[in-house]
Amino acid sequence: DTGVSQDPRHKITKRGQNVTFRCDPISEHNRLYWYRQTLGQGPEFLTYFQNEAQLEKSRLLSDRFSAERPKGSFSTLEIQRTEQGDSAMYLCASSLASGRSTDTQYFGPGTRLTVL
Amino acid sequence: SQQGEEDPQALSIQEGENATMNCSYKTSINNLQWYRQNSGRGLVHLILIRSNEREKHSGRLRVTLDTSKKSSSLLITASRAADTASYFCATMNTGFQKLVFGTGTRLLVSP
């Protein structure tokens, strides 16, 4: 399967700890997105990269959150000093910006974070 | 924040019946997309309709878009138990790459 993969699938942590999630996009895709989804809601945009450049960040992405895509391939999302309100599903998506069709985003299975 | 609202919030039907879900949004869009999400899992892309299109079909799916009313509908014909999932509309606004999702419709198809 060459879809978007995320690791880990589940993470349980204690409040105040740091966590890091990884996303591997579809191999030829140059755009990568992070979204957060809480129970009963639709996903909310956090940030996106084109290649290694982070081009847009939501105000939801507080200074405790940082995302990187160092070589324009995989990406990591780190949350420092986690809070109970950070408990959510973190979804990664990727797309191919090729001029004609840049809009379909393909999602990974998500990382479910529980902060105790 | 969520861009739009979906209606109904929940829908329960029998296998073989059609299911219609509606989505309303607030701003001008480049395109609108529908996704399916099975419980606790990632989203599966179903169909994309651009702002200059009015209707699109894909298998048992039919999507309409009315930009004057800022609304869209998703019709699933001859539903199956495997169609049980949450369905989300998402808009991509002109000049932006992010998707703005609605609140979703939970569909239950009973055998």
* Tens of pLDDT, residues A29-52: 999 999 999 988 999 999 999 999
What does the pLDDT look like over A59-80, one tens digit per residue? 888 899 999 999 889 999 999 9
Task: State whether A107 and B40 contact (CB < 8 Å).
Answer: no
**Is residue B67's pLDDT more than 60?**
yes
| Chain B residues within 8 A of A45 when measuring between CB atoms | 98-100
What does the pLDDT look like over B10-41, one tens digit per residue? 999 999 999 999 999 988 898 999 999 998 78
**Is residue B42's pLDDT more than 90?**
no
Share of chain B above pLDDT 70, in %: 96
Please state the φ and ψ torsions of residue B86, each to the nearest 5 degrees. -100, 140
pLDDT of residue A13: 97
d(CA A79, nearest CA chain B) in Å:
20
CB of A45 less than 8 A from some CB of B: yes
Mean pLDDT, chain B, integer: 92
Interface of A with B in 63-92 (CB under 8 A): 89, 91
Phi-psi region of A72 (alpha: psi -120 to 50; beta: other; left: phi over 0): left
pLDDT level of residue B3 (50, 70, 90 thresholds): low
pLDDT of residue B5: 81
pLDDT of residue A56: 87
pLDDT of residue A2: 74
Question: For the residues A18-39, what does the mean pLDDT come to?
Answer: 95
Task: State whether A43 and B45 contact (CB < 8 Å).
Answer: no
pLDDT of residue A101: 56
Task: State whether B88 and A42 contact (CB < 8 Å).
Answer: yes
List the single residue in B35, B92, B103 with the smallest CB-CB distance to A103.
B92
DSSP letters spanning A22-73 = EEE--TT--EEEEEEE-TTS--EEEEEEETTEEEEE-TTS-TTEEEE-TTSS
List the single residue in A35, A56, A89 with the smallest CB-CB distance to B97.
A56
pLDDT of residue B84: 97
**Is residue B61's pLDDT more than 60?**
yes
pLDDT of residue B2: 54
CB of A43 less than 8 A from some CB of B: yes
